[in-house]
Structure 1
Amino acid sequence: MDLDLAGRSYVVTGASSGVGLATAALLLGEGAHVVACARDGDRLAAALRPLPRAQGARVVAGGCDVLDADGVAAFVASAAEELGGLDGVVNNAGRSLLAPAAETTREQWHEEFDLKIFGVLNTVRAAEPYLRRAAAPSVVNVNAILARQPESRLAATSAARAALLNLTRTLSADLAPIRVNSVCLGLVDTGQWRRRHEAAGVPDSYEEWTGALAADRGVALGRLGRAEEVAYPIVALLSPRASYITGASIDVGGGVARYV
C-alpha cells in the first residue's frame, strides 16, 4: 500500500538508534524527507549515512537536545525552511530510569518529567506553525505501556509516561486538525536492554536472558520486539491514510498489557 508519504517532511527526535532510527529508515524508504535530531550529532550522522532511501528522499540532520527549547526551535525552523515546510513530528527521544520510588532522587523525578513532557512540548511548539500550513499534519508520541501499567521498579518513568499519555489526549483536542496519537511500546530490543544484560553479568546469552525476561513480564509472544515493529505503526499513523485517527493509543508490546 502506498502510504502517501513521498515528498512530505517529518521530524524524528532521538533518531540515532533504536525506534527513532528505524522510523527514519522506514520514512526514507517511503520517499519522505526526514528531519532527524539527537544529542550526539556525530553518532546521528553515522547512523543515518547507510540508510537506503527512495528517490528524492532527503535527510536534514543535526545535534539537538529536545530540552533546549531555543535550540529545538532554531533547528526546526532551519529544517522547515530548507524543505519548504513540515508535515509531522515523531517525538521519540526518551529513556528509562530503573529505580523504585524510594531510591529516586528529587532531581531524577524532575529529569524524567522534563524529558517526557517538556521534550515533547518543545518540539511540538517549534513545529506547530509549520504543521498548521500542512495538508495532512500529524504528531506521534512514542510512549510506553508503562503509562497504563506502572512498574514499581520504574517508578518515575511510569509516572512520567502516564503524564505524557494524558498530555497527548489534551494536545489532540487543542491542536486539531493536527492529529496527535501515541504508540505505546513494551519490551523492545534496543541498546538499552543490551547494556542491562552486560551490566547484569549473568552467564546466559542475550537471547536466553531476553527470553526469560519476556516470560517474566508476561509477553504473550515470548520475545522482545524489534525496533522496526514499532516503526511501522508510527509511520502508519503519520500517513494521511490515517486521517480520522487522533487522540488514540496503539500498544506494540507483544501482548504484555494486563489492563483492560
Structure 2
Amino acid sequence: MDLQLTDRTVLVTGASSGVGLAVTDMLLQEGARVIAVARDRGRLDDATRALGADPSRLLAAEADVTIRTEVEEAVTAGAAHFGSLDAVVCNAGRSLMAPLSETTDEQVRDELELKVFGAWNVIRAARAHLAASSVGAVVNTNAILAKQPEAKLAITSAARAALLNLSRTLGEELAPEGIRVNSVNLGLIDTGQWRRRYEAYRSEGGAQDYDTWSAEIAADRGISVGRFGRAEEVAFAIVSLLSPRASYITGAHIDVGGGVTRQP
C-alpha cells in the first residue's frame, strides 16, 4: 500500500539509534525526506550514513530537544533545506530506573524536561510549518507505562503520563489548524537501553544468553507474545499514523507492547 509519504518532509528526533533510526529508515523507504535530529552529532552521522540513503533526501541536524533555541534552529534549517515540513516524530527519550526514595530533585526535573519539553519544544517550533502543510501530523513516542506507574520507574512513569495528557490536549487544540497529534506507546522494545542492561547483568555474573534473559523479563511483565518488540515494529505504527491515509485519526494512542496490559 502506498502510504502517500513520497516527497513529504518529516523531522524525527532521537534519530541516531533504536526506534528513531528505524523510523528514519522506514520513512526513506516510503519516499519521504527526513530531517534526522539527535544531540550527539558523531553518533547521528554514523547511524544515518549506515542507512545508505540518498543525501538529497536526508539531513542530519544536531540539537538537544530540551533546549528550545537548538530545536528552533534545527526546525528552521530543515524546513528551509527541503522547502517544507509536513510532520514531526517526537521520539527522544530514556528511562530512569529508580524508586522515588532514590531519585533526586534534579533527576525529576530532567525527566520532565526530556519527556514534556522534549516534545513541546519540537511541536511549537514546527507548528506554523505543519499548519501550512495539507497533511500536518505529529506522533509522540511514549510508553505504555504512561497509563500505569511502576514503582521502580516512578518519575519516568509520571513524566510519561504528563506527555500522554499533553498529546491528547494538543490533538484538540491543533485540529482546527489541520494538524493531527497522536501517540504510540511502547512496551519493552529491544533497543540499546536493554542491551546495556543485559551487559550489566552479564558483568555481575549472569549466565543466560540474551534471548533467554529477555524472554524471562517478558514473561514477568505479562507480555502475551513472550518477547521484546523490535524497533521496526514500533516504526511501522508511527509511520502509519504519519500517513495521510490516517487523516481521521487524531488525539489517539496506539499501544505497541506485545499484548501487555496497562489500565485504563
The equivalent residue for 1:226 is 230
Q: Find the aligned partners of 1:183 and 1:128 in 2 and give their Cα distance.
A: 20
The equivalent residue for 2:22 is 22
Which structure 2 residues correspond to residues 196-215 of structure 1 after superposition, within 5 A?
A: 196-200=197-201, 201=204, 202-215=206-219
The equivalent residue for 1:94 is 93
The equivalent residue for 2:125 is 126
Cα deviation, residue 56, structure 1: 9.1
Cα deviation, residue 52, structure 1: 4.7
Q: Find the aligned partners of 1:63 and 1:80 in 2 and give their Cα distance.
A: 15
Following superposition, which runs of at least 4 residues in structure 1 exceed 4 angstroms of deviation?
none
The alignment partner of 1:49 has SS state of helix
The equivalent residue for 2:10 is 10
The alignment partner of 2:140 has SS state of strand
Cα deviation, residue 259, structure 1: 2.0
Q: Find the aligned partners of 1:47 and 1:124 in 2 and give their Cα distance.
A: 24
Q: Find the aligned partners of 1:25 and 1:189 in 2 and give their Cα distance.
A: 17
Q: Find the aligned partners of 1:235 and 1:119 in 2 and give their Cα distance.
A: 20
The equivalent residue for 1:71 is 70
The alignment partner of 1:236 has SS state of helix
Q: Find the aligned partners of 1:250 and 1:207 in 2 and give their Cα distance.
A: 26
Change (3 A) 1:227 1:57: farther
Which structure 2 residues correspond to residues 177-216 of structure 1 after superposition, within 5 A?
A: 177-200=178-201, 201=204, 202-216=206-220
The alignment partner of 2:19 has SS state of helix
- How many pairs does the alignment contain? 259
Which structure 2 residues correspond to residues 25-174 of structure 1 after superposition, within 5 A?
A: 25-53=25-53, 58-174=57-173
Relative to its length, the structure with more helix (as a share) is 2
Please report the TM-score for the alignment, with normalisation by the length of structure 2.
0.96
Match of 2:242 among 228, 238, 259: 238
Do the aligned partners of 2:147 and 2:262 also contact (CA within 8 Å) in 1? no
Cα deviation, residue 225, structure 1: 0.1
Change (3 A) 1:10 1:180: same
Paired residue type of 1:216:
D
Cα deviation, residue 50, structure 1: 2.4
Q: Find the aligned partners of 1:66 and 1:48 in 2 and give their Cα distance.
A: 19
Cα deviation, residue 244, structure 1: 0.2
Identical-residue share of aligned pairs (%): 59
Paired residue type of 1:28:
L
Please report the TM-score for the alignment, with normalisation by the length of structure 1.
0.97
C-alpha offsets along residues 121-173 of structure 1, whole Å, 9 cap, x if unaligned? 11111111111110100000000000002111000000000000000001111
Q: Find the aligned partners of 1:3 and 1:41 in 2 and give their Cα distance.
A: 30
Paired residue type of 1:10:
V
Do the aligned partners of 1:6 and 1:57 also contact (CA within 8 Å) in 2? no
Do the aligned partners of 2:66 and 2:117 also contact (CA within 8 Å) in 1? yes
Q: Find the aligned partners of 1:73 and 1:225 in 2 and give their Cα distance.
A: 33
